[in-house]
Chains A and B, each alone.
Chain A
Amino acid sequence: MKTLVLGLGNTILTDDGVGIRIANEIKKNCRNIDVIEASAAGFRVVDEIIGYDKLILIDSVITGNSEPGTLHRFDLAEFEKTLHHSSPHDISLFEALEIIRKQDEKLPSQIEIYAVEVEDTFTFSEKCTKDVEAAIPEITRKIIEEQNLF
């Protein structure tokens, strides 16, 4: 199964880049997948998704209901809760997928969405806050295991 891991966020805004950090960690551990990073999951990245069987999105989220570093898993329909599902300068992933589908392009039949609860996405730093930073190895391991990546 041709698999793409897409890390979303910004690696210079503290916790905002945690999705990309985890995607890169997964890349270090797994050879049979592709990994890319992007700041939002709209039309600007949808070209890159074409041709894959499975897409794993890793984003950040502030639900305020759980501790920073907690891993959430969403359905595609719930994806709008995460931070980077779209941008005012782009269209949402749903719209983008719908358009591509209309063009008869091959889209992933399986889309898995993860988001890490974060604390600070407004301060410039390449390091995540303490709890989020500490959670990265465990989350990486968990996603690799759940998704059966190798």
Chain B
Amino acid sequence: MEGHGKIEIFLDDNGNVKNAYLQVPELKGFEQFCLGRPVEELARITPRICGVCPTAHHMCSTKALDAVYHVKPTETAVKLRRLIYDAFMAEDHLLHFFFLGGPDFVVGPDAPPAERNILGVIGKVGLEIGKQVINSRRRLREIVTTLGGKIIHPVCGLPGGVSRGVTEEERQEFLKTAKETVEFSKFTLEVFEDIVLKNKVYLDLIVGDIFKHETYYMGMVDENNKVNLYDGQIRVVDPEGKEFIKFEAKDYLDHIIEHVEPWSYIKFPYLKNIGWKGFVDGIDSGVYRVAPLARLNASDGMATPLAQAEYEKMFDTLGGKPAHNTLAFHWARLIEVMYAAEDMVKLLEDKSITNPDIRNLPTETPDEGIGIIEAPRGTLIHHYKTDENGMVTGVNLIVATVNNSAAISMSIARAAKNLIKNGEVNDGLLNMVEMAFRAYDPCLACATHSLPGKMPLIVNIRDKNKEIVKSIRRD
């Protein structure tokens, strides 16, 4: 497969879509690579399996290390980890909106591919916005880099805490960034309102049937069932929005199991206690979704006021909770940026974040531990086993995109079936099919147990004889 993600769309005798499949290549030997190493190394190695969200892997790994060593991080360490994580989440989501998902809306779903990019966005909304996106992301990255200890791949997480605290001077500087991010996120939501929601064609697309699936939703919540990205219990709601189950990280194997298909290396997790009924939605199918919209669906609200107001507005517009509209992932993503920014302000206004208690030293014998975090692209699980010297004897990762793999396949098939009729395929239609896919911001790299964020995607349309009639490639 030579490193490409592939969407294969098969047409029937009449040129209508029979089925669509998502395929990704396999990377070999990850578990083997980890075995016998000191478990602390996994916090350094796992971020490298993905060039896109190294911070999510690092933080998840650090939480798994807490569990392996049976050590609780100090209060200040938890605040610092959350701060880094919020900054990362806001930065990553903003990149997706303005650079990757946004162009579909801002420039238009059927605009020529050459214009459907960030330059097209800047052309439409003005250079000033481009400047703001760049500055905002740069300042958020400064927080991650300063506290994470290294550009791109953070190294700050240790079992029981972090390696570096924050000074009073940095606190004040970061607080400025956090407040600016709140303002920028207000502005971004206004852009979304003006350009997307006020355009009837786009709104119809969002609420319409082409991009809709009634599935279960999974996300982490705090003790009040509010969205929490760093810590809490995993809550699953059914397609009607009722709580199906709430569980602790350590019990994930009781609830999640993976289905395997012969045509793809990607695994398809589903809810164990509902069962695998194939690539179908509905209350009897164990298919669930993760990531921004799923997190909002699986919660009872946001823990910060501005994000909460946006949460209410979104569900009002979409006709209640849960919202099954795949394109609303974009909207939910922006609400999470607001939440992350407000949470940063909250953390940084409290001077106790500069306290020196940044680590509890582990004293117990290491054995086994599970860490869960909400990565930008969904629930991320790291599960490690070690011998009594802390040498790795087993590793299992369920990465964010994999949780969505069944739903992504279904979304592609549904969009393709609705859009491609009588063998008529053009770039505009194919881009609409891709939009079903892009809403999840899928990271195929990581989904195959990795590759550093560089998996080109090929979409092939095949006629009844399985011959390719059209092929598009996106790098």
Contacts and interface: CB of A to CB of B under 8 A. Distances in A.
Interface of A: 9-13, 16, 36-40, 43-45, 47-48, 80, 83-92, 95, 98-100, 102-103, 121-125
A47 B141 contact: yes
B287 to A, nearest CB: 23
Contacts of A121: 3, 451
B29 A89 contact: no
Interface stretch (B126-134, B302-310, B325-333, B366-374): B126-134
Interface in B27-57: 27-30, 32-33, 45, 48-52
Contacts, number: 124
B220 interface: no
B134 A40 contact: no
A39 B26 contact: no
Interface string B7-29: 00000000000000000011111
Given A95-B117, A95-B118, A125-B29, A83 B152 contact: no
A86 B32 CA distance: 29
Interface in B68-91: none
Interface stretch (B170-178, B419-427, B452-460): B452-460
A129 B455 CA distance: 22
A40 B131 CA distance: 22
A80 B131 CA distance: 26
A39 B475 contact: no
Contacts of B48: 10-12, 39
A103 B131 contact: yes
B122 A10 contact: no
A71 B69 CA distance: 46
Nearest to A41: B454
Given A12-B45, A13-B452, A40 B51 contact: yes
A36 B137 CA distance: 19
A40 B453 contact: yes
B419 to A, nearest CB: 21
23 contacts: A10-B51, A10-B452, A11-B48, A13-B452, A16-B452, A39-B48, A39-B152, A39-B453, A44-B95, A47-B137, A86-B454, A87-B52, A88-B454, A88-B474, A89-B95, A89-B443, A89-B453, A91-B99, A91-B100, A99-B122, A122-B25, A123-B27, A124-B28
B118 A9 contact: no
B33 A83 contact: no
Given A36-B151, A92-B475, 19 more contacts: A9-B452, A13-B450, A16-B452, A38-B152, A39-B50, A39-B453, A47-B134, A87-B52, A87-B445, A89-B51, A89-B95, A89-B441, A90-B453, A91-B117, A100-B134, A121-B451, A122-B26, A123-B28, A123-B29
Contacts of A83: 454
Nearest to B475: A86
A84 B452 contact: yes
A102 B100 contact: no
Nearest to A123: B28
B325 to A, nearest CB: 22
Contact of B27 (A84, A99, A122): A122
B119 interface: yes
B466 interface: no
Interface of B: 3, 5, 25-30, 32-33, 45, 48-52, 95-96, 99-100, 117-119, 122, 127, 130-131, 134, 137-138, 141, 151-152, 441, 443-445, 450-457, 474-475
A45 B117 CA distance: 18
Contact of A89 (B33, B100, B141, B450): B100
B237 to A, nearest CB: 28
Task: Enumerate the 10 nearest inter-chain pairs by beta-carbon distance, A residue then B residue, closest first.
Answer: A39-B51, A39-B452, A124-B33, A10-B452, A87-B453, A87-B454, A89-B52, A124-B29, A123-B28, A12-B48
Contacts of A84: 452, 454
Given A95-B117, A99-B118, A122-B3, A90 B99 contact: yes
A139 B173 CA distance: 43
B144 to A, nearest CB: 11
Contacts of A16: 452
A89 B445 CA distance: 10
B377 to A, nearest CB: 9
Contact of A40 (B26, B28, B29, B454): B454
Nearest to A39: B51
A121 B454 CA distance: 12
Contacts of B443: 89
Nearest to B449: A124
B96 to A, nearest CB: 8
A8 to B, nearest CB: 9
Q: Which of B100, B151, B453, B457 has the most CB of A within 10 A?
A: B453
A99 B475 contact: no
In this complex, the member of B49, B119, B454 whose beta carbon has the largest number of chain A beta carbons within 10 angstroms is B454
A64 B21 CA distance: 28
A16 B444 CA distance: 17
